[in-house]
Structure 1
Amino acid sequence: MELSVVLLAQVLARVVSEGQLTIVDETGRPHQITGAKPGPSVTMRVHDWWTGIHLAFRPRLALGEAYMDGRLTVEQGDLYDLLDLLGRNIDAVDSTAMMRWSYRLQRGLRLLEQYNPIGRAQQNVAHHYDLKGELYDLFLDPDRQYSCAYFKTGNESLELAQADKKLHIATKLLLKPGHKVLDIGSGWGGMGLFLARSFDVEVTGVTLSREQHGVSNRRAQAAGISDRVRFKLIDYREESGRYDRIVSVGMFEHVGSAHYLEYFRKISDLLADDGVMLLHSIGRMEPPGGTNTWLRKYIFPGGYSPALSEVLAAIERAGLWVTDIEVLRLHYAETLRRWRHRFLANREKIKEIAGYDDRFCRMWEFYLAGCEVAFRYMRQMVFQIQISRRQDAVPLIRDYMVTEERLKNVAETMAAE
């Protein structure tokens, strides 16, 4: 039933204004859509009539599922080229009646989708972060930094950009020897280990991932600093005590908008009177919305990229000061590009060493490529918010951040020589 692809082509013909897309239906007949502006030229094949129907009526879910299952293949160009073409035309796509209806439905369900009480939050984290460690070794940097890197020029290696990210965050924490630091969502321990070694502080990391918890503590023991760095397998809401500094990198996306006030009230309880927190999170440069249907179902259940407006409202209600905000725009697109290239280069090793099949690899390729396109065209960004309980907890001007980074870089360069 090639009519399903005809319907899909008619829908796309109204929205593709840049580039050229050819859709080959299950009979082998091509349907060409040419935009008025030059752009990528891509050919995709739809292998059955039902996929064409699904793509026309539920594109946000159907595109990823069809690619994962091999019911949609890209014959001219690759998956990234296809998503890049769609990303360039995303404003027109989002203006269609079907997409407007989809977004309204998603906004209505978002509180339910993002409900992450203790217990369920750990299940959601395990879905993604308790995958085999060999997988992450084959596309991340050696420190397993699984969050947005910091590109000063855009030409840095992934390793250098991730090292610069850690230093950039550390300068905003105004660390002093002996400070007690809490790392919420401590991952595989890279940030905590870096802070302890470079700034002589005591670090407690909390995570919900059993895999990350085990790796983190083994790394601390191997480094000989387990007396100053420890990692706990608990929900941040169960942590107690007071900390001079709190850092959270790439965890807030898993909190859920219904829990923002709860989160910042807990931060207020944990933070010393003169304490400072640095929150690093994916966000959106538009009003609150929902999470992509496919991404929520297959990659990050319970996840959500917040708007600054809803984060700042919760911080205000918790009675905390926002002392600095920085928005990183294309940094994550560059990070994801490097991850994607490494993943594809190691695809056969991922299947052989980590034991994942072709469908899993196509799912992760779609995840990495789709997220990169989202940060290039779909209003996604990363923000860093510096937070304190007192307005005089940090210097009056932010020059200290740049000065500290430069001094640290110079010192490390001289030590290496």
Structure 2
Amino acid sequence: FANERAEAAGVADKVRFELIDYRDVAGTFDRITSVGMIEHVGARHFGEYFAKTHDLLAEDGIMLTHTIGRVGPPGSTDKWTRKYVFPGGYIPAMSELVTALEDNAWLISDIEVLRTHYAYTLAEWYRRTCQHEAEITALYDQRLFRMWQFYLAGAEQAFRNADMVNFQIQSVKSADVLPLTRDYMGEDAARLRAAEIAPRWHLEEHREAAE
């Protein structure tokens, strides 16, 4: 799927997708972005993870860790989610990530906490899931469809009621690799939005057929 999307976007010669354990990655990178991965590393491996990424990053590089995070101290994953949705998954507390970063010689250069933002994403996923009930139940069954509805509805409320948030932690090896202020973030975001062409949603054909 990723290769197909890259081909459609005309960037297949510029990107490479690999299914590989992060501990087996070799080389040096000027940027590392971790999106939704740390939840699956496991709390006992946070130190190992940030040690490995520290080794992989160039001295003037930048790393961004994006993750769902729990509000408050470390906790545990509820049994239902652990069994049916994220086996082995764990939502970290900010204190756990900061400790692991500090213990592995990272300099934390910026932290952003997205509060209720993800609730809107989950609400849209719920809407689209309901919209495609027939296709989903044909592929799987009604039980899985209802379980997914239950999960998405519950997860949305976790973000609306400030039980869960999203953390974005920027970390570097050297303090002088970034501008002194955060202005560059807004400037870069505006530039990218102006140049962006919205991709065609990969399920759009199903929506059109349903209509």
The answer, yes or no, to whether TM exceeds 0.5 is yes
Of 167, 173, 187, the match for 1:383:
167
Taking the aligned partners of 1:230 and 1:255, their CA distance within structure 2 comes to 22
Where 1:362 maps in the other structure, the secondary structure is helix
**Pair 378,290 (structure 1): closer, same or farther in 2 beyond 3 Å:** farther
| Structure 2 residue corresponding to 1:373, chosen from 151, 157, 167 | 157
Secondary structure of the corresponding residue to residue 50 of structure 2: helix
Partner AA of 2:59 in structure 1: D
What displacement does 1:225 show? 2.8
Bigger relative contact order (CA 8 A; separation at least 6): 2
Correspondence for 1:349 among 128, 131, 135: 135
Q: Distance in 1 between matches of 2:10 and 2:196?
A: 21
Confirm or deny that 1:409 pairs with 2:193.
yes
Deviation string 1:371-412 (CA, Å, 9 cap, x unpaired) is: 111112251000101111111111111111112222333455
Q: Does 1:305 align with 2:101?
A: no
CA distance, structure 2, for counterparts of residue 404 and residue 234 of structure 1: 30
1:244 alignment counterpart: 30
Choose which of 66, 88, 91 in structure 2 pairs with 1:280.
66
> Does the 8 A contact of 2:71 with 2:162 survive in 1?
no
1:332 equivalenced with 2:92 (yes/no): no
Which ranges of structure 2 fall in alignment gaps of 5 or more residues?
198-211
Query: Which consecutive residues of structure 1, in runs of 5 or more, have no partner in the other structure?
Result: 1-214
Could you say which residue in structure 1 is the equivalent of 2:206?
Answer: none
Q: Does structure 1 residue 319 correspond to structure 2 residue 105?
A: yes
Structure 1 residue 222: deviation in Å?
4.1
Matched, 1:259 2:45: yes
* CA–CA distance in structure 1, aligned partners of residues 189 and 161 of structure 2: 30
Q: Distance in 2 between matches of 1:359 and 1:378?
A: 29
Kindly provide the amino acid, as one letter, of the partner of residue 170 in structure 2. Answer: Q
The offset of 1:312, in angstroms, is 0.1
Shift of 1:283: 0.2
DSSP-derived class of the 1:291 partner:
coil
2:176 corresponds to 1:392: yes
TM-score, normalisation: structure 2: 0.88
Distance 1:241 1:333, change over 3 A: same
How far off is 1:250 after superposition?
1.1
Alignment map for 1:188-207 (pairs within 5 Å): none
CA 1:250–1:223: 2 relative to 1, 3 Å: same
> What CA distance in whole angstroms lies between the structure 2 residues aligned with 1:231 and 1:379?
34
Say which SS state the counterpart of residue 373 (structure 1) adopts: helix
Deviations 1:60-117 (A, max 9, x none): xxxxxxxxxxxxxxxxxxxxxxxxxxxxxxxxxxxxxxxxxxxxxxxxxxxxxxxxxx
Distance 2:38 2:131 in 1: 30
Contact preservation (8 Å) 2:115, 2:162: no
Deviation at 1:224, TM superposition (A): 3.9
CA RMSD of aligned residues (A): 1.5
State the alpha-carbon separation in 2 of the partners of residues 410 and 221 from structure 1.
22
Task: Tell me whether 1:291 sits opposite 2:57 in the alignment.
Answer: no
Partners of 1:342 and 1:224 in 2: CA distance? 28
Task: List per-residue Cα deviations over 1:213-240 (Å, max 9, x = no partner).
Answer: xx22233344443321111111111001
Cα distance in 1 between the residues matched to 2:98 and 2:196: 36
Could you say what secondary structure the match of 2:130 adopts? helix
| Corresponding residue SS for 2:18 | strand
Structure 1 residues 411 and 240, CA, compared in 2 at 3 Å: closer, same or farther? closer
Paired positions, count: 197
Structure 1 length as normaliser, TM-score? 0.46
Is the 1:220–1:230 Cα contact (8 Å) retained in structure 2?
no
